């Protein structure tokens, strides 16, 4: 399937659910329950990185628009009704949103694929997967609770309430736009918070589409607001504004650290999901075929534009050459190209800028003495494609072994034994995830306990469930998303102490003589 034949189909699918004009999805901002243009009516466009066509346009928010969105969220929090609703009522609306996403899997996946460059088939999996995140959050809206202490003595009862923290600013990146938003928004809403969302300017489409679903589901005006535009002008106020109580950010470690610093200086709560340089650690006794498949999947899924990308493989030195030959052979066969083609596994890189960064990293590695075994160049001049790339003979001190590349680039580093593998694994600033491949339980547990990582996969890679917390050690982030604490993270506790019976006076004045 080529883009020329796909785009009419794409536009038709988009048209079915939204008022758009071909070929673009013309999104608007959603502020205080109203669909609005920016105050100065300026718009920006997004071109498909695979095909170069304009696929969507959005208002470029001004400072006044951002202010209005924050005010709307603040008013919706202070006056309600959202924070004051019963958990059951919030849950009902979150369930309705899940249902709405389910009904729009096709148009949302299509827009996500066209804006990001990711394979349409993969986008379908992600959008469908978001349904479960909203369902899980709905279950927590009814079950998250405080605590009570009946152990404080005859005259005292302690009650700990969990109250929504307030207005939350959500800033999301371009690599998994709807998925990452769905790791945050339904949980903040389940807690009773109100939100202002700023999606990446490259991929605002499904965030805006989601607002249509929220509106239909009956989520009250002002509970969620979306502002579109550039990071520094539109995102930064969400870290600094006095009316914002919490910032939840996913993106680069550089921007996360900047925004986290600004928000912390104003004593706001901060949650950060940042980058990774995630090692898969391979021992000679592993299930070889399963491991090779997981390594190829781990690094080329989403073209490697994935915080959890398995971008470093640490291989026992006795099998390093066999591993390199086999992984090159398998990687050569991965279908790269038009994301709309049903067989595509690796689509386009999100932007020319990102593509340049990736190639620059590869060049740096080769200049430092590493060996390019596969790829390392553009795949097709028509779109922003990169060949799956493999680099061996990498030393742990090289920049390609330590810095996040965020592209389809695998680096292979040999190790001598488990403690050496753990030492190399931990020798970066990051600590998001890791995997260990071995049939020996002692080896698996030793590595799993030893690596600095928020998630460790044993004989598997990249699985995820709403029930399991996700987040990073060290420079990979602050806090965790998902898991049974996901809603609690958007709350404050309030301690209430109730005295029972007569007071034991501190001091009684003596009766007058
Ligand atoms: P960025 O950090 O550049 O952008 C993330 C978000 O922040 C975007 O919405 C962006 O807006 C916004 N932003 C950028 N600069 C500012 C600023 N000065 N003030 C406020 N907001 C700003 O990351 P990318 O989008 O380029 O994503 C790639 C990086 O994100 C990788 O390093 C990756 O590891 C990390 N990441 C981590 C994930 C995790 O879960 N740990 C998940 C996904 C990505 P705009 O795009 O409009 O500039």
- pLDDT 10s per residue in the chain (513 long)? 333 334 444 544 444 343 333 457 999 999 999 999 999 999 999 999 999 999 999 999 999 999 999 999 999 999 999 999 999 999 999 999 999 999 999 999 999 999 999 999 999 999 999 999 999 999 999 999 999 999 999 999 999 999 999 999 999 999 999 999 999 999 999 999 999 999 999 999 999 999 999 999 999 999 999 999 999 999 999 999 999 999 999 999 999 999 999 999 999 999 999 999 999 999 999 999 999 999 999 999 999 999 999 999 999 999 999 999 999 999 999 999 999 999 999 999 999 999 999 999 999 999 999 999 999 999 876 899 999 999 999 999 999 999 999 999 999 999 999 999 999 999 999 999 999 999 999 999 999 999 999 999 999 999 999 999 999 999 999 999 999 999 999 999 999 999 999 998 999 888 887
**Closest CA to ligand 1's atom 30:** 251
What is the spatial distance between Cα 463 and Cα 275, in angstroms, rounded to a whole number? Answer: 18
Please indicate, yes or no, if residue 443 is contained in any of the structural domains: yes
**Which is nearest to 405 in space by CA: 450, 375, 380, 382?**
375
**Ligand 1 pocket mutation, candidates 177, 233, 255, criterion most atoms within 8 A of CB:** 255
Please indicate, yes or no, if residue 502 is contained in any of the structural domains: no
What is the spatial distance between Cα 221 and Cα 208, in angstroms, rounded to a whole number? Answer: 15
Q: Give the pLDDT of residue 23.
A: 52
Looking at the structure, tell me whether residues 145 and 47 fall in a common domain: yes
CA of 6 to the centre of ligand 1 (A): 30
Looking at the structure, tell me whether residues 320 and 447 fall in a common domain: yes
**Ligand 1 pocket mutation, candidates 174, 231, 409, criterion most atoms within 8 A of CB:** 231
202 neighbors 227 (Cβ within 8 angstroms): no
Counting the structural domains of the chain, the total is: 2
**Ligand 1 pocket mutation, candidates 169, 173, 228, criterion most atoms within 8 A of CB:** 173
Known catalytic residue at 423: no
Looking at the structure, tell me whether residues 240 and 334 fall in a common domain: no
CA of 234 to the centre of ligand 1 (A): 13
Query: Considering the entire predicted model, what is its pTM?
Result: 0.94
CB-neighbour burial class of residue 63 (10 A; exposed 0-12, middle 13-18, buried 19+): exposed
> DSSP H helical segments within 314-440, as ranges?
320-332, 352-367, 399-402, 418-425
> Which of 273, 305, 404, 481 is labelled catalytic?
273
Please indicate, yes or no, if residue 222 is contained in any of the structural domains: yes
> Which of 307, 387, 404, 444 is labelled catalytic?
307
Q: If you write DSSP's letter for every residue of 12-67 in order, what string do you get? A: HHHHHHS--BTTBEE--EEETTEEE--TT--EEEEE-TTT--EEEEEE---HHHHH
CA of 251 to the centre of ligand 1 (A): 3
Q: Give the pLDDT of residue 495.
A: 98
Looking at the structure, tell me whether residues 224 and 291 fall in a common domain: no
Looking at the structure, tell me whether residues 137 and 238 fall in a common domain: yes
How many residues are listed for the chain in this entry?
A: 513
Please indicate, yes or no, if residue 117 is contained in any of the structural domains: yes
State which residues form the domain around 432. 279-458
Question: Is-cis flag, bond preceding 81, omega within 30?
Answer: yes
**Closest CA to ligand 1's atom 18:** 232
Looking at the structure, tell me whether residues 42 and 181 fall in a common domain: yes
Cα dihedral 43, 48, 52, 55 sign: negative
44 φ/ψ angles, rounded to the nearest 5 degrees: -125, 160
CA of 252 to the centre of ligand 1 (A): 5
Looking at the structure, tell me whether residues 292 and 337 fall in a common domain: yes
**Closest CA to ligand 1's atom 3:** 252
**Which is nearest to 376 in space by CA: 395, 353, 400, 360?**
360
Looking at the structure, tell me whether residues 210 and 301 fall in a common domain: no
Looking at the structure, tell me whether residues 268 and 339 fall in a common domain: no
CA of 250 to the centre of ligand 1 (A): 6
Ligand 1 pocket by C-beta < 6 Å: which residues? 171-175, 180, 198, 200-202, 230-232, 235-236, 250-252, 255, 258-259, 273-275, 307, 404, 406, 432, 477
CATH number at residue 365: 3.40.309.10
**Closest CA to ligand 1's atom 16:** 231
235 neighbors 204 (Cβ within 8 angstroms): no
Q: Give the pLDDT of residue 381.
A: 65
Atom of ligand 1 nearest to the CA of 238: 20
Please indicate, yes or no, if residue 239 is contained in any of the structural domains: yes
Looking at the structure, tell me whether residues 231 and 315 fall in a common domain: no
Please indicate, yes or no, if residue 463 is contained in any of the structural domains: no
What is the spatial distance between Cα 157 and Cα 226, in angstroms, rounded to a whole number? Answer: 43
Distances (CA, A) of 293 to 149, 296, 331, 342, 391: 52, 5, 9, 20, 17
Looking at the structure, tell me whether residues 117 and 231 fall in a common domain: yes
Known catalytic residue at 481: no
Please indicate, yes or no, if residue 169 is contained in any of the structural domains: yes
Please indicate, yes or no, if residue 111 is contained in any of the structural domains: yes
CA of 508 to the centre of ligand 1 (A): 63
Looking at the structure, tell me whether residues 267 and 381 fall in a common domain: no
Atom of ligand 1 nearest to the CA of 256: 2
CATH number at residue 51: 3.40.605.10
């Amino acid at each position: 399937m080529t883009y020329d034949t796909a785009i009419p189909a794409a536009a038709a699918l988009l048209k079915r659910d939204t008022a758009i004009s071909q070929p673009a999805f013309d999104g608007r901002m959603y502020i205080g329950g109203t669909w609005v243009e920016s105050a100065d009516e300026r718009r920006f466009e997004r071109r498909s990185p695979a095909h170069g066509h304009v696929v969507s346009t959005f208002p470029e928010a001004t400072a006044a628009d951002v202010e209005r969105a924050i005010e709307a969220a603040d008013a919706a929090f202070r006056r309600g009704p959202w924070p004051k609703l019963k958990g059951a009522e919030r849950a009902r609306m979150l369930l309705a949103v899940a249902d709405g996403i389910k009904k729009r899997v096709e148009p949302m996946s299509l827009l996500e694929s066209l804006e990001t460059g990711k394979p349409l088939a993969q986008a379908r999996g992600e959008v469908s997967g978001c349904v479960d995140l909203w369902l899980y959050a709905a279950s927590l809206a009814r079950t998250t609770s405080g605590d009570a202490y009946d152990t404080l003595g005859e005259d005292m009862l302690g009650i700990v309430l969990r109250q929504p923290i307030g207005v939350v600013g959500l800033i999301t990146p371009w690599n998994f736009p709807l998925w990452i938003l769905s790791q945050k928004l339904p949980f903040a809403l389940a807690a009773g918070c109100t939100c202002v969302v700023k999606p990446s300017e490259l991929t605002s489409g499904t965030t805006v589409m989601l607002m249509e679903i929220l509106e239909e589901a009956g989520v009250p005006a002002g509970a969620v607001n979306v502002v579109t535009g550039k990071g520094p002008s539109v995102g930064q106020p969400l870290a600094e504004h006095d009316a914002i109580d919490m910032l939840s950010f996913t993106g680069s470690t550089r921007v996360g650290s900047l925004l986290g610093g600004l928000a912390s200086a104003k004593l706001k709560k901060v949650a950060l999901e940042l980058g990774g340089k995630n090692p898969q650690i391979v021992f000679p006794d592993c299930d070889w075929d399963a491991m090779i498949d997981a390594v190829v999947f781990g690094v080329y899924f989403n073209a490697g534009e994935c915080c959890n990308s398995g971008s470093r493989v640490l291989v026992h030195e006795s099998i390093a050459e066999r591993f390199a030959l086999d992984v090159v052979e398998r990687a050569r066969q991965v279908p790269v190209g038009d994301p709309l083609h049903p067989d595509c596994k690796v689509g386009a890189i999100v932007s020319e800028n990102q593509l340049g960064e990736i190639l620059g990293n590869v060049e740096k590695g080769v200049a430092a003495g590493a060996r390019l075994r596969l790829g390392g160049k553009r795949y097709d001049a028509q779109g922003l494609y990169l060949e799956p790339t493999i680099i061996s003979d990498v030393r742990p001190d090289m920049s390609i072994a330590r810095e996040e590349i965020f592209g389809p680039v695998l680096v292979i580093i040999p190790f001598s034994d488990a403690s050496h593998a753990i030492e190399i694994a931990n020798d970066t600033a990051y600590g998001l995830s890791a995997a260990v491949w071995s049939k020996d339980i002692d080896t698996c547990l030793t590595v799993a306990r030893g690596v600095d990582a928020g998630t460790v996969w044993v004989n598997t890679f990249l699985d995820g469930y709403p029930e399991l917390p996700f987040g990073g050690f060290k420079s990979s982030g602050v806090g965790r998303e998902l898991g049974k604490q996901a809603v609690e993270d958007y709350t404050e506790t309030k301690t209430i102490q109730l005295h029972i019976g007569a007071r034991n006076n501190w001091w009684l004045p003596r009766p007058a003589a």
